[in-house]
């Protein structure tokens, strides 16, 4: 297996462009899962200046190579994201998996991604010899270049997540996160994102529009649930059927509405 560890973003991109079938390596938990590293040559990102958690004005910048357990211990990380890391059972994975790998990778379930989307986080990335920033939700559509950092530009948003598993030591089956601002009992700027329904993370725009159209007091669980159920087409697998996933998300929405109710009272 060919292995390289470039020292600059420019060099890393050049290698990636010139070496067929090469893959970037971060924590390696997905790339090394169940077999020898998937992809060769491997371009290790470890020497790139994309480590650490910093405050940048009112935003929090999380370097792509930050491991998930460091999110839990940093005083800069907002509560909703810390809780999402806490839902992640496998301690050894938490100590190796990076924020960049959790975002850029294509693992079939994520505790972290729906929460970052609910924060309306942005992605700083390096592509075509330039650094750019865009909403993470948009970056995920094409995943261009090297993800350098995640920017939480609205750390004060209220963000709640809920998950369900078929067994205590298993991966989560479905994870739902909601983010919003609450001003004088009105929900504003809501985002609802779900991981685990099918391959890709799903952002539920109709459900968010409903949340934005009512006050916290007027929120109607049945109405929200029926909008959500109409917007999703979960796929089942050997462990959990599509029907069970629908019941999981229904339960998770109820949990999230309980949080909104408590916040507004
Ligand atoms: C046993 C096990 C249990 C798990 N349990 C959970 C769980 O409970 N909840 C959960 O949410 N997830 C879980 N995961 C998934 C885990 O979150 C991901 O495997 C991890 O986040 C990937 O990060 P990494 O740094 O290890 O990425 P890597 O494996 O190094 O890379 C993953 C992919 O992302 C690309 N990549 C990595 N960094 C960058 C970057 N900066 N820019 C561009 N591309 C990049 C790589 O090229 C590769 O394609 C589990 C995984 C395993 C193996």
pTM of the model: 0.96
The answer on pLDDT for 162 being more than 70 is yes
Token pair listed for 196: 């685990």
Q: Smallest Cα–Cα separation from 62: which of 145, 137, 133, 151?
A: 151
Contact criterion met (CB below 8 Å) for 198 and 107: no
pLDDT tier at 199, thresholds 50, 70, 90: confident
Residues with C-beta less than 6 Å from any ligand 1 atom: 23-31, 33, 45, 64, 88-90, 93, 96-98, 100-102, 104-105, 107, 109-112, 146-147, 171-172
pLDDT tier at 249, thresholds 50, 70, 90: very high
CATH pick for 158-264 out of 3.30.390.50, 3.30.300.180, 3.40.50.261, 3.30.160.270:
3.30.390.50
* Interatomic CA distance for residues 255 and 258, integer angstroms: 5
Fold (topology level) of 51-152 = 3.30.465
How much is the pLDDT for 132? 98
Domain boundary assignment for the chain: 51-152, 158-264
């Amino acid at each position: 297996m060919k292995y390289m560890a470039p020292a600059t973003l420019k060099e890393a991109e050049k290698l990636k462009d010139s070496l067929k079938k090469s893959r970037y390596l971060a924590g390696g938990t997905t790339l090394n899962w169940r077999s020898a590293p998937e992809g060769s040559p491997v371009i290790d990102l470890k020497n790139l200046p994309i480590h650490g958690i910093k405050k940048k004005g009112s935003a929090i910048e999380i370097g792509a190579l930050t491991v998930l357990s460091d999110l839990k211990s940093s005083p800069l990380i907002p509560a909703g994201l810390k809780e999402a890391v806490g839902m992640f059972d496998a301690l050894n994975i938490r100590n190796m998996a990076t924020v960049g790998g959790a975002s850029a990778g294509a693992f079939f379930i994520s505790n972290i991604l729906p929460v970052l989307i609910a924060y309306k986080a942005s992605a700083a990335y390096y592509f075509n010899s330039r650094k750019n920033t865009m909403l993470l939700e948009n970056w995920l559509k094409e995943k261009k270049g090297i993800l350098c950092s995640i920017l939480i530009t609205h750390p004060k948003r209220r963000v709640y997540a809920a998950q369900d598993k078929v067994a205590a030591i298993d991966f989560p089956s479905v994870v739902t996160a909601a983010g919003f601002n609450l001003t004088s009992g009105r929900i504003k700027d809501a985002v609802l994102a779900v991981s685990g329904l099918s391959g890709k993370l799903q952002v539920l725009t109709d459900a968010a529009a409903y949340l934005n159209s009512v006050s916290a007091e007027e929120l109607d669980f049945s109405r929200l649930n029926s909008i959500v159920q109409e917007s999703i087409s979960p796929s089942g697998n050997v462990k959990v059927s599509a029907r069970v996933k629908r019941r999981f998300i229904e339960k998770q929405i109820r949990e999230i509405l309980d949080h909104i109710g408590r916040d507004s009272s």
